[in-house]
């Protein structure tokens, strides 16, 4: 093993040591996207001593990138991000080999590229690409670390690691159905990519050393504006099926309905039965004030930490921006706090636009 002073501090720590450093130096990581999330992922994996890093990004540096992508300068505007990033990383740590891909990841090249690496880092900004990553990783039997950012909020998880749930267990919709807005549409605070990307780099390192303490099977939700961090469990399809069967048996044994109801409701169905439900909008207060369709505003992080404002004898329809966080929240409250009366509105506020 190469013995550099640069690695001496991390070699000293528990759960890492010389063996962990050796694993990093022999590891190959593909980072998909060299933008806001990619910058901290690339920087810290290279600094930590990952032996080989692939960088795939077909985009070029724009001036609007510079506030949250600090490895680029004004002199890099117009250049391929992947090529500029590779030059930066080679200066940062000559131990690290870099491979540059300036093409777009798609269904044609994903499996071939992903198969070359041990672990994949998602630093892209769109849902369609994440489904391509997920499906290729399943086929190639590779774990991948997910990160997502918008506004002040971010998410991190680890998929397909040691038989853990996959991205489709969290968001089963097809890419065509969830072409959601990215940072270009709704903005992002400059510091958020660094925080989420650093979390991702840390999870990648833990995966490389074989840790059982990763975010596999869990979704980390972070709200930097309100300083709230929460972790919710992700169920695999088989776990969800088993939970539903168990719930059905409990309900049948208690003399209640014999089948469990789905945890989602369409916007049209909600509007047709509006008097039956209390509407809870779980977006942030400023989003609710900007545009809403009524109901009460209780941000999702408040309900995760304290669900006492909800009555188990009432029926609630839960709405967020797109219907994803509301679904995670409803499943969490059903599982952890015994609620059976919550419905997530499919498509969220986006489905309500134009009403």
Which residues participate in catalysis according to the annotation?
A: 183, 320
What is the C-alpha R_g of the chain? 22
DSSP for residue 5? G
Sheet holding 316-319, edge to edge: 264-265, 342-345, 316-319, 278-281, 296-297
In whole angstroms, give the CA distance from residue 73 to residue 87: 13
Chain centroid, CA 289 distance in Å: 26
Chain centroid, CA 121 distance in Å: 11
Are 96 and 149 in contact by the 8 Å Cβ rule? The answer is no
DSSP for residue 261? P
Strands (E), 104-256: 119-122, 144-150, 153-159, 218-223, 228-233
**Phi and psi, residue 146, nearest 5°:** -95, 140
Q: What angle do CA 136, 142, 147 make, to 5 degrees?
A: 80
| CB contact burial 137-167 (16+ within 10 A = b; e otherwise) | beebebbbbbbbbbbbbbbbbbbbbeebbbb
In whole angstroms, give the CA distance from residue 156 to residue 146: 5
Residue written as token pair 């840390």? 202
- Two structure tokens written together for 346: 């499919």
Are 295 and 309 in contact by the 8 Å Cβ rule? The answer is no
**Phi and psi, residue 220, nearest 5°:** -85, 125
Q: Strand 52-56 and strand 144-150: pairing?
A: unpaired
């Amino acid at each position: 093993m190469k013995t550099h002073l640069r690695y001496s501090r991390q070699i000293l720590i528990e759960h890492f040591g010389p063996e962990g450093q050796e694993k990093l130096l022999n590891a190959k990581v593909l980072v998909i996207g060299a933008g806001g999330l990619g910058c901290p992922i690339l920087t810290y994996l290279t600094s930590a001593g990952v032996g080989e890093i692939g960088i795939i990004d077909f985009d070029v540096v724009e001036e609007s990138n510079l506030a949250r992508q600090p490895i680029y300068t004004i002199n890099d505007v117009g250049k391929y991000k992947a090529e500029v990033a590779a030059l930066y990383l080679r200066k940062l740590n000559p131990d690290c080999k870099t491979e540059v891909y300036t093409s777009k990841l798609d269904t044609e090249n994903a499996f071939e590229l992903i198969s070359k690496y041990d672990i994949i880092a998602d630093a892209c900004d769109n849902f369609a690409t994440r489904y391509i990553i997920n499906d290729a990783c399943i086929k190639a039997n590779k774990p991948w670390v997910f990160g997502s950012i918008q506004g002040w909020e971010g998410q991190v998880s680890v998929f397909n690691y040691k038989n853990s749930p996959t991205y489709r267990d969290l968001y089963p919709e097809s890419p065509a159905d969830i072409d959601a807005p990215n940072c270009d549409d709704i903005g992002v605070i400059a510091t958020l990519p660094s925080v989420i990307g650093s979390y991702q780099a840390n999870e990648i390192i833990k995966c490389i050393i074989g840790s059982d303490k990763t975010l596999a099977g869990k979704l980390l939700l972070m709200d930097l504006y309100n300083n709230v961090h929460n972790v919710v469990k992700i169920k695999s399809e088989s776990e969800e099926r088993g939970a539903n069967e168990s719930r059905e048996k409990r309900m049948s044994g208690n003399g209640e309905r014999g089948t469990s109801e789905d945890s989602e409701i369409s916007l049209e169905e909600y509007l047709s039965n509006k008097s039956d439900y209390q509407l809870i909008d779980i977006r942030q207060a400023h989003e609710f004030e900007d545009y809403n369709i009524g109901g009460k505003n209780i941000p999702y992080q408040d309900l995760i930490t304290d669900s006492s404002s909800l009555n188990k004898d009432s029926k609630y329809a839960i709405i967020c921006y797109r219907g994803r966080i509301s679904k995670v929240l409803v499943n969490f409250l059903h599982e952890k706090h015994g609620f059976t009366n919550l419905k997530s509105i499919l498509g969220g506020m986006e489905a309500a636009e134009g009403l």
